[in-house]
Structure 1
Amino acid sequence: MSTQVDAVVNLFAGTMRGWRGTTVRGRARKTPEKLLKLYDIEASPFCRLVREALSEMDLDVLILPCPAGGTRFRPQAKALLKNTTFPMLVDENTGEMMNESAHIIDYLARTYEGGVQAQKGPFRGLAVGTSVLSTLFGLRSHGLSGLKARPSREPAQPLELFSFESSPFSKPVRARLCELELPYVLRNTAKGAMSDMGPPSFRDKLFKGPKGTTRNRAFLFEKTGKVQVPYLIDPNTGVEMYESQAILNYLDQTYAVR
């Protein structure tokens, strides 16, 4: 499937979730000294809920992909927390580790003073239900992307990806990173103001507001002169690039084992 068609599919999936994970709506007042670690499956609806919250709290995280059949981080997670499920959070700043998406979201909000909390009661059921529907829609449309492990070469250092959860062009890149079990620092780049809304080519003509409305958006603008996601940095090769299809091709050529 082309990235353009994939993006349309992911637009519908994002709509099912009410575009959660698009804007910073409860920025954390505290920043973890050490990166949070999230053992994650891109195609999991429960992992999606946590990634949405991380985007909205403007928190970065080290993603350790645990797709079905994975041998790199999945056994590691289960060794740390017996019978764990995913997502699983490890916070080396406090020594805490936990699973269950609602517990993780509430922990992050409480510990780092974020304004996003897990929904309770029937609203929790609605959140899980729409996340499941969104995930199933994506899987039905583009197969098992982000669900099953594929053979890959392990990088010496984690990659970096500037993304936000509902970004339709970032989704296939995160899925490929998950399939290949490539660890990466997720630099959450959610929108910080109305001037950030819409595709870059459209919003930059319509709005004349500042581009650096969040710390990661400011970083991209200062580094590249524009704000667009996904943006990949690979410290192992020195490669830095925009455009989801180019990133997918790069990941396959550099890390996939055929």
Structure 2
Amino acid sequence: MAGALNFTPAPILRPLSTRKLSNKRLFIVHSSTNSSETPVASTSVSIKEEPSSGFSISPPPNFKPPKPKPFSVRPDKVFDILGASLALVFRLTTSVLVSGYSASFVPKNEISSEDYALEFAGFKLKETSKLGPRPEKPIEIYEFESCPFCRKVREIVAVLDLDVLFYPCPRNGPNFRPRAAQMGGKKQFPYMVDPNTGVSMYESDDIIKYLVEKYGDGKVPIMLSLGLLTTLTEGFAMIGRMGKGSSYTPSKLPSKPLDIWAYEASPFCKVVREVLVELELPHLLHSCARGSPKRHVLKQRVGHFQVPYLEDPNTGVQMFESAEIIEYLRATYAL
């Protein structure tokens, strides 16, 4: 899947808080995408410069992005990754694969070296999907990490391979939690806005049903259709993280949303998302579970596929490696 993204500024509603930020902005993100079982070669991003939020935002002194280290865990992050991996057990790998996933081994010369593919003994794993209509503009979702109802919606985002503009709403967050309440009239999450249709709604099950009918095949995956059992297993899935991604850490609000290439089932992506939420950093998620055409897009852009991958248009930083991304986010945005 390829996309052309354009960011257009719109005034943000003043937060219901005594914390003051000058020239605060909200972002409306416009995108165009093509749906195809054949990966598209490239994606382009166009961003209009906006006034800063009143704080100086720059990477740490002498900062240098790390080189990607596939299939490795930094020793001090082993327990974090193990805790985040519990979700794979309780959720039976829901959100690991995109809709209509299929895979087969083919001779390695049948897949271009520019495309993403796992390689085994002279063969490559060809992974494809059958995706529904692509939204012209990213779906907007107000939510936070340690909420089982929010997790349900994030899982269907991965299954449908959607790009979503997330507005994090951690407890005591001064910006997007009050704004969601003003827009929808309730302090309840998740809250979804579809700028393509004008539809906005609460209730995770209703959001899931809407998304699969509008951008999928109309069928809710079985692990998301079990009612109370789904909600309970979503809660159990987060036990290993003990409420991470739920409370606000004072931070600088960036003038542009960050871009993160990730997917819900990955424990490496999970620990980064927790920090994005705690710092209340709006971010455009390029979901890329197994079978996603965006895996090819990312490899063609940067020469390598690995998630999470962060692109920060506020500083120009682009980087792999979850542990170092977390350190970068805290050093750059935490107050």
User: Please, what TM-score do these two structures have when normalized by structure 1?
Assistant: 0.85
Letter of the aligned partner of 2:97 in structure 1?
Answer: T
Q: For 1:73-152, what aligned pairs fall within 5 Å after superposition?
A: 73-114=176-217, 116-117=219-220, 123-139=226-242, 144-152=243-251
Secondary structure of the 2:188 match is coil
Q: For 1:185-200, what aligned pairs fall within 5 Å after superposition?
A: 185-192=284-291
Q: Hey, what does 2:263 align to over in structure 1?
A: 164
Q: Unpaired segments of 5 or more residues in structure 1?
A: 193-213
Contact 2:84/2:238 (8 A) holds in 1:
no
Q: Hey, what does 2:47 align to over in structure 1?
A: none
Contact 1:102/1:119 (8 A) holds in 2:
no
Letter of the aligned partner of 1:110 in structure 2?
Answer: E
Identity %: 40
Q: Does 1:173 align with 2:272?
A: yes
Q: Does 1:54 align with 2:157?
A: yes
Secondary structure of the 1:123 match is coil
Q: Distance in 1 between matches of 2:85 and 2:249?
A: 26
Q: Distance in 2 between matches of 1:123 and 1:188?
A: 24
Q: Does 1:12 align with 2:12?
A: no
Letter of the aligned partner of 1:238 in structure 2?
Answer: G
Count matched residues.
232
Q: Distance in 2 between matches of 1:153 and 1:22?
A: 33
Closer, same or farther: CA 224–186 of 1 in aligned 2, 3 Å: same
Q: Hey, what does 1:253 align to over in structure 2?
A: 331
Deviation above 6 Å: which 4+ runs of structure 1? none
Secondary structure of the 1:2 match is helix
1:218-251 deviation line (CA, Å, top 9, x unaligned): 1211122221110000011110000001100110
Deviation at 1:136, TM superposition (A): 2.9
1:149-190 deviation line (CA, Å, top 9, x unaligned): 010001100001111101011111000000000000011010
Q: Unpaired segments of 5 or more residues in structure 2?
A: 1-74, 101-129
Secondary structure of the 2:267 match is coil
Deviation at 1:13, TM superposition (A): 2.3
Q: Distance in 2 between matches of 1:224 and 1:121?
A: 34
Q: Hey, what does 2:141 align to over in structure 1?
A: 38
Q: CA RMSD in A?
A: 1.8
Letter of the aligned partner of 2:207 in structure 1?
Answer: I
Contact 2:165/2:284 (8 A) holds in 1:
yes
Deviation at 1:52, TM superposition (A): 0.5
Contact 2:223/2:230 (8 A) holds in 1:
no
Secondary structure of the 2:268 match is coil
Secondary structure of the 2:180 match is helix
Q: Hey, what does 2:77 align to over in structure 1?
A: 3
User: Please, what TM-score do these two structures have when normalized by structure 2?
Assistant: 0.66
More helix by share: 1
Deviation at 1:18, TM superposition (A): 0.7
